[in-house]
Amino acid sequence: MTQEPEPSRAPADQDQATHLHVLAERIHHAADDLSTPPTGHPLASTSEEIEDQIRAVTGIFAALAGEAAFHGRAAERHPGTANLLAHRKIALLTRAADPLGRALAHLGQAVAQIGRLHEISAGPRTPEQAQALRAARTVLTDQLRDAYLYLSDAAGSLHRDADQLITTVLGTQRAPTAPSTGRAPLSPTPPVPTTGAPTATRTLR
């Protein structure tokens, strides 16, 4: 019995790479939606905005973890070419989990600063209170900035890895390009450090 030739991996690899680009864009949009609360901005409004961002990032994190689990099951059930593709995608997806998790941690610290601001605001109006409020708002801004940097790092990494998913396997096959967003291209980002947020090429608005 003649064995049928194995189908080309190119379409499957392109589909998987495109999916990574789409996930990266979701992370980019979450980063773009982060903003520094202006001076005098109501705490209730700031708290609601941060809550929305935590929901968005948590949803992305859950989607990433779900995708990794799905492809892990596929790798066990369907050995062969599909197995190799699943392993590659799992590796690329989970590399984004670390900066994404760090972004969530900084958003959690931002929530803690909201509580601190409420606590300070409940006290008497004194020069010391004004100074404490400024300090707490500075910490809040720093936490939001660091969350933004880690989100940008995760998205940029996924975009690069999606391109490599094709170029590494097929060599001459051109990787699919990321959806056009009008952004300046990100410069290469070093590995996520153990301390301090990564450096981003865009500015938190």
Number of separate domains in the chain: 1
Domain assignment present for residue 204? The answer is no
pLDDT digits (tens, 9 = 90+) for 107-121: 999 999 999 999 999
Domain assignment present for residue 183? The answer is no
Estimate the crossing angle of helix 10-32 against helix 43-77, to 10 degrees: 170
Domain assignment present for residue 116? The answer is yes
Domain assignment present for residue 129? The answer is yes
Domain assignment present for residue 14? The answer is yes
Which residue range(s) make up the domain with 121?
Answer: 10-34+41-170
pLDDT at 4 over 50: no
Domain assignment present for residue 190? The answer is no
pLDDT digits (tens, 9 = 90+) for 124-147: 999 999 999 999 999 999 999 999
User: Are 72 and 148 a contacting pair, CB within 8 Å?
Assistant: no
pLDDT at 20 over 90: no
pLDDT digits (tens, 9 = 90+) for 54-77: 999 999 988 888 888 887 787 777
Q: Hey, what amino acid is at 150?
A: Y
Domain assignment present for residue 4? The answer is no
pLDDT at 2 over 50: no
What DSSP string runs through 55-119? HHHHHHHHHHHHHHHHHHHHHHHS-SHHHHHHHHHHHHHHHTHHHHHHHHHHHHHHHHHHHHHHH
Mean confidence (pLDDT) of the chain = 76
pLDDT at position 193, please?
42
pLDDT at position 43, please?
85
Interval 169-173 mean pLDDT: 49
Q: According to the 3-state scheme, what is the secondary structure of 15-39?
A: HHHHHHHHHHHHHHHHHHCCCCCCC
% of the chain residues with pLDDT over 70: 68
By CB atoms closer than 10 A (0-12, 13-18, 19+), residue 30 is: buried
> What's CA 177's distance to the chain center, in Å?
19
Domain assignment present for residue 145? The answer is yes
Interval 88-92 mean pLDDT: 79
pLDDT at position 183, please?
46
